[in-house]
């Protein structure tokens, strides 16, 4: 039985089983050989059969690779990552009915795949297909397992690897497999093709790619037998790019360089009022105050925008706003009343860290390697909510490295290089987290438990030492907390993930779209839309000592960030090259605060001082009492993904803004703006200017002023035609104007 030792993936549990399989294989080989189809090329199980099954989708997650038995008792390894197991499944399981060596076409495998017998998955391989014929030939040749002898796939190569295409143009990509023995083979027909943006490019057939008329960059991921290659297409618009805004820093150089290459002319830099409002909303999560707006608009100095950014960054509003962003993805959830203290402490720790501009690497280190009590060391609270090492590494990888490791817990990551060993080696960093009960129910003290850190690969049973995404770690002694070593590895300037994940996340915060999308799915097969820019941001961030405020400052000072949202003749279709500002609806908390500011009211929140703003709320518990926050998609802190925050619009949101009780209450508040203005004896024009300045940071336009004045002086009567008391009429008129502004796009969107 020489083959027994050659399949490295056979688990001890399966070894007996495997012996039987291999015995069968030997017998079948004998039968096959006796039939001696000498002229026919040998079909390889590993390099032919498995790719065909994969291409046909048989071993996709929802089909026969479904965890816990596949479909109808027929199990396959996901995407063919375990050919040895697949062979067992085909040959032994199902009482050998799946393969008939004497009558290959009667094999259940072929009969089901071709739809000759009822098959829940439909016809996967037509009888006339190359794939069908190849499988048939393999069975006829004796259904041999060639795991030991088949040349290993070394590389997948695409030709072409990149192309510049005209809108609407198509291209045919060839996929070439390179094997360890030096052989090559065209596998275009058996490889899987997938576009990263189906609006920009679609895969039309075997290797065919057609781009749409949206300018920009798009890629097609090609997978074959665990290897991934990427075809990158640039679709230039070809318009003339001139009169570029001034290059303020390296961000502009990279953004405008890309736009020139693609021939997309950017919109001009926005006016002061737009910049003021946009930057306040993006950096501090609030509207500029009326005084700030007037002062900024009146300021004639050339550096006023830079100074304004610094003012925002120095404010507690910046810390509150970004703390809201971070605490949601760090799962600061209230599941029990006793979570109150730890949630407040954790939120405050994040907020204070941002206020003090704690270097990002230090912030992550304190979180990763937290020990002690929640009050003494609040990041310990993270360990209260994320209890299992596997959840810890999955969250850490996705949040701080932009890598999704979840798949690799049970099988090799389908699009990535991550294996189960990588997964459990990462988990090993968290294997020495000790817990002691505290006086608070559900809350543990966290300490470093002395001992050799290892985690067990559930498949191989191997006890793995800590290793970070393929990087070997220096020896970690039992006395050392492995989490500190993980933090050391993260902040190393050579780390390809840590800085990249953060700058990409922050870029998305300011531009609405990450350079890599989704922002927490960084992989070779998901290339950035502007690699030069991403690399430059990364380098800058590392060189700055992981300075978050500096990163925000660098981004916000760039002309690219300050571009107008109004499209020009060419860039309306651009969604990924930042040729203009992409308007976004205000987030739930920011919007609620903005409405309160405009209405001159405040929202009360439990356990917090009156006047606390919604962006400063420490956890998700306030969503329960605030229908507004729920409707507008404030996250519940259930996921590390920022996508949990709902940024889309809905009918419920519109109805809420138009007529919900809380909005009506704010408009009619006795100390609110409408009431105050109605009582004030200032001239009407001044009052209208105030409302516009608060809502939009600008003066009303002449037509807006005229319309508002006309509305205010309209005669109002009851349904019965009786004139309404002038004080009441004034109050209601102002309420109407405030209401109208709240419901305007200019108010609801950051633009």
Partner 1 sequence: MRAGSRPKPANFARRAACAASYALAALALDAASVSAQSVGLPAPRLLTTMPMGGKAGTEVEVRITGEHLEEAGELSFSDPRLTATAKTGMDGKPVPNVFVVKIAADCPPGIYEARVMTRLGISSTRIFSVGTLDEVVETKPNATVADALEMKIGSVANGVIADRSVDHLKFQAKKGQKLVIDCAAKGIDSKLTPTLILADEKGRDLVVDRSAGFLAFDVPADGTYLVKIHDLTFKGGVAIFYRLALQESKPGETVARQPGTAAVNAFSWPPQGLAAKSVLAEADPEDPAGKPQKVTLPLDVSGRFFPAADVDEYEFEAKKGEVWWVEVASDRLGRPTDASVLVQKVTKAKGGDGKEIETRTDVVELADVPSPVKVSSNGYAYDGPVYDAGTADPMGKIEIKEDGTYRLRITDLFGGTRRDPDNVYRLIVRKASPDFALVGWAIHMELRNGDRNALSKPLALRGGSTMALEVVAFRRDGFDGPIELALEGLPEGVTATGLKIAAGQSRGMVLVTAKEDAPRGFARAKFVGRAEIAGEKVERAGRLASVSWPIPDSWGEIPNPRLVADVPVSVSGFDKSTITVAPVTQKIEAKAGEKLTVPLKITRRSEFSGASFPVKAIGAGFERVPGFEIPLNADKAEAVVDLKALNLPPGDHLLSFIGGAVAKYRHRPDLVTAAEAEVKKAKDELAAASAEAKTTAEAAKVASLETMSQANMAAAAAVQRENRAKEALPKAEAALKQATDAAQPRDIADIVVVEPIAIHIQPAEKK
Residues that bind partner 1 (CB under 8 A): 315-316, 336-338, 340-341, 344-345, 348-349, 352, 355-356, 365-366, 369-373, 375-378, 434, 437-441, 445, 447-450, 479-481, 483-484, 607-610
Beta carbon nearer to partner 1, 316 or 676 = 316
Instruction: Give least dist CB 290 to partner 1, A.
Output: 17
Beta carbon nearer to partner 1, 359 or 518 = 359
The DSSP output letter for 280 is: I
Q: What is the DSSP string of 597-655?
A: HHHT-----TTS-TT--GGG--STTHHHH-HHHHHTT---S--S-GGGS--S--HHHHH
Instruction: Give least dist CB 167 to partner 1, A.
Output: 52
Phi then psi for 484, rounded to 5 degrees? -65, -35
**SS3 label, residue 322:** helix
Instruction: Give least dist CB 548 to partner 1, A.
Output: 17
Query: Which residues have a Cβ under 8 Å from the Cβ of 689 and sit 6 or more positions away?
Result: 699, 700, 705
Burial of 708 (0-12, 13-18, 19+ CB in 10 A): buried
Beta carbon nearer to partner 1, 480 or 517 = 480
CA 100 – CA 149 distance, rounded (Å): 23
Instruction: Give least dist CB 604 to partner 1, A.
Output: 9
Beta carbon nearer to partner 1, 336 or 524 = 336
Beta carbon nearer to partner 1, 73 or 611 = 611
Instruction: Give least dist CB 487 to partner 1, A.
Output: 8
Instruction: Give least dist CB 314 to partner 1, A.
Output: 8
Instruction: Give least dist CB 636 to partner 1, A.
Output: 20
Strand partners, 202: 210
Q: Estimate to the nearest angstrom the gap between the alpha carbon of 401 and the chain centroid.
A: 11
The DSSP output letter for 441 is: T
Beta carbon nearer to partner 1, 291 or 681 = 291
Q: Estimate to the nearest angstrom the gap between the alpha carbon of 746 and the chain centroid.
A: 28
CA 486 – CA 491 distance, rounded (Å): 9
Beta carbon nearer to partner 1, 348 or 740 = 348
CA 288 – CA 281 distance, rounded (Å): 8
Instruction: Give least dist CB 488 to partner 1, A.
Output: 11
Instruction: Give least dist CB 637 to partner 1, A.
Output: 18
Instruction: Give least dist CB 174 to partner 1, A.
Output: 52
- 8 Å CB contact between 265 and 570: yes
Token pair belonging to 482: 């492995």
Instruction: Give least dist CB 347 to partner 1, A.
Output: 10
Instruction: Give least dist CB 480 to partner 1, A.
Output: 8
**Which H helix or E strand runs over 30?**
helix 15-35
CA 161 – CA 231 distance, rounded (Å): 5
Q: How many CB atoms lie within 10 A of CB 234?
A: 16
Beta carbon nearer to partner 1, 45 or 344 = 344
Instruction: Produce one character per residue of 36-54: b if its CB has 16 or more CB atoms within 10 Å, e if not.
Output: eeeeeebbbbbbbbbbbbb
Beta carbon nearer to partner 1, 155 or 450 = 450
- 8 Å CB contact between 226 and 256: no
Distances (CA, A) of 458 to 337, 461, 482: 36, 5, 21
Beta carbon nearer to partner 1, 62 or 474 = 474
Instruction: Give least dist CB 322 to partner 1, A.
Output: 15
- 8 Å CB contact between 229 and 157: yes
Q: How many CB atoms lie within 10 A of CB 355?
A: 18
Instruction: Give least dist CB 490 to partner 1, A.
Output: 13
The DSSP output letter for 563 is: B
CA 176 – CA 744 distance, rounded (Å): 55
CA 703 – CA 707 distance, rounded (Å): 6
Residue appearing with tokens 């308007």: 583
Instruction: Produce one character per residue of 559-585: b if its CB has 16 or more CB atoms within 10 Å, e if not.
Output: bbbbbbbeeeebbebbbbbbbbbbebb
Beta carbon nearer to partner 1, 364 or 741 = 364
Beta strands in 309-464 (DSSP E): 433-437, 444-448, 455-456, 463-464
288: closest CA among 301, 304, 303, 302?
A: 304
**SS3 label, residue 185:** strand
Instruction: Give least dist CB 461 to partner 1, A.
Output: 27
Of how many residues is the chain composed?
751
Query: Which residues have a Cβ under 8 Å from the Cβ of 591 and sit 6 or more positions away?
Result: 585, 632, 748
Instruction: Give least dist CB 464 to partner 1, A.
Output: 22
- Rg (alpha carbons) of the chain, rounded to whole number: 31
Beta carbon nearer to partner 1, 163 or 608 = 608
- 8 Å CB contact between 335 and 305: no
Beta carbon nearer to partner 1, 448 or 508 = 448
136: closest CA among 171, 163, 167, 99?
A: 99
Instruction: Give least dist CB 295 to partner 1, A.
Output: 16
Beta carbon nearer to partner 1, 373 or 398 = 373
- 8 Å CB contact between 174 and 207: yes
CA 455 – CA 639 distance, rounded (Å): 24
Beta carbon nearer to partner 1, 440 or 639 = 440
Beta carbon nearer to partner 1, 365 or 630 = 365
Beta carbon nearer to partner 1, 7 or 365 = 365
Instruction: Give least dist CB 467 to partner 1, A.
Output: 20
Beta carbon nearer to partner 1, 394 or 619 = 619
667: closest CA among 717, 585, 733?
A: 733
């Amino acid at each position: 039985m020489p083959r027994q030792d050659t399949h490295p993936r056979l688990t001890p549990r399966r070894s007996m089983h495997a012996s039987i399989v291999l015995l069968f294989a030997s017998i079948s080989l004998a039968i096959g050989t006796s039939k001696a189809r000498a002229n026919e090329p040998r079909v390889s199980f590993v390099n032919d059969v498995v790719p065909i099954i994969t291409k046909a989708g048989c071993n996709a997650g929802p089909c026969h690779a479904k965890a816990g038995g596949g479909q109808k008792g027929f199990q396959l390894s996901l995407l063919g990552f375990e050919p040895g197991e697949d062979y067992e499944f085909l040959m032994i399981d199902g009482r050998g009915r799946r393969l008939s060596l004497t009558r290959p076409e009667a094999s259940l495998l072929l009969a089901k795949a071709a739809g000759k017998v009822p098959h829940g998955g439909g016809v996967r391989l037509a009888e006339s297909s190359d794939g069908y014929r190849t499988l048939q030939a393999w069975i006829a040749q004796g259904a041999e397992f060639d795991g030991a002898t088949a040349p290993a796939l070394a590389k997948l190569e695409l030709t072409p690897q990149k192309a510049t295409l005209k809108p609407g143009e198509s291209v045919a990509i060839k996929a070439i497999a390179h094997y360890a023995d030096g052989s090559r083979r065209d596998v275009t027909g058996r490889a899987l093709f997938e576009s990263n943006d189906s609006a920009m490019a679609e895969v039309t057939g075997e290797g065919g790619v057609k781009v749409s008329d949206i300018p920009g960059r798009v890629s097609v991921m090609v997978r074959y037998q665990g290897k991934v290659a990427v075809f990158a297409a640039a679709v230039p618009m070809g318009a003339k790019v001139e009169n570029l805004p001034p290059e303020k820093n390296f961000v502009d150089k990279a953004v405008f360089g890309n736009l020139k290459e693609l021939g997309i002319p950017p919109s001009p830099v926005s006016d002061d009022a737009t910049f003021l409002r946009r930057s306040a909303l993006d950096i501090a999560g609030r509207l500029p105050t009326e005084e700030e707006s007037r002062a900024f608009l009146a300021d004639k100095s050339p550096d006023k925008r830079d100074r304004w950014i610094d003012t925002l960054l120095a404010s507690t509003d910046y810390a509150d706003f970004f703390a809201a962003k971070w605490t949601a993805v760090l799962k600061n959830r209230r599941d029990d009343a006793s979570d109150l203290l730890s949630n407040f402490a954790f939120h405050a720790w994040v907020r204070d860290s941002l206020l003090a501009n704690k270097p990002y690497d230090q912030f992550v280190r304190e979180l990763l390697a937290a020990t002690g009590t929640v009050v003494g060391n609040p990041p310990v609270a993270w360990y209260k909510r994320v209890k299992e090492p596997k959840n810890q590494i999955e969250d850490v990888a996705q949040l701080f490295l932009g890598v999704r490791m979840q798949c690799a817990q049970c099988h090799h990551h389908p699009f990535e290089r991550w294996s189960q060993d990588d997964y459990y080696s990462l988990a090993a960093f968290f294997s020495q987290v000790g817990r002691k009960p505290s006086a608070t129910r559900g809350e543990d003290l966290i300490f470093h438990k002395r001992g050799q850190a290892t985690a067990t690969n559930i498949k191989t049973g191997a006890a793995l030492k800590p290793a970070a995404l393929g990087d070997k770690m220096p020896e970690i002694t039992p006395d050392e907390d492995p989490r500190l070593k993980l933090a050391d590895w993260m902040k190393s300037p050579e780390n390809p993930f840590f800085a990249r994940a953060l700058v990409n996340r922050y870029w998305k915060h300011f531009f609405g779209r990450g350079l890599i999308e989704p922002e927490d799915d960084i992989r070779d097969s998901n290339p950035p839309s502007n690699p030069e820019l991403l690399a430059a941001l990364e380098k800058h961030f590392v060189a700055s000592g992981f300075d978050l405020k500096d990163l925000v400052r660098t981004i916000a000072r760039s002309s690219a960030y300050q571009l107008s949202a109004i499209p020009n003749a060419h860039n309306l279709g651009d969604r990924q090259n930042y040729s203009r500002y992409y308007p976004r609806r205000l987030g739930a908390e920011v919007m609620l605060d903005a409405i309160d500011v405009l209405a001159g009211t405040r929202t009360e929140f439990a356990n917090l001082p009156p006047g606390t703003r919604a962006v400063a709320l420490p956890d998700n518990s306030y969503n329960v009492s605030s229908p507004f926050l729920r409707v507008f998609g404030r996250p519940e802190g259930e996921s590390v993904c920022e996508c949990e925050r709902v940024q889309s619009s809905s009918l419920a949101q519109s109805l809420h803004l138009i007529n919900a009780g809380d909005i009506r209450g704010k408009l009619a508040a006795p100390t609110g703006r409408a009431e105050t203005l109605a009582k004030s004896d200032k001239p009407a024009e001044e009052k209208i200017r105030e409302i516009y300045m608060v809502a939009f940071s600008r003066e009303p336009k002449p037509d807006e002023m005229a319309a508002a004045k006309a509305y205010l002086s309209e005669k109002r009567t009851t349904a019965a035609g009786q004139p309404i008391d002038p004080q009441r009429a004034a109050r209601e008129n102002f309420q109407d104007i405030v209401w109208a502004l709240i419901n305007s796009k200019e108010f609801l969107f950051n633009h």
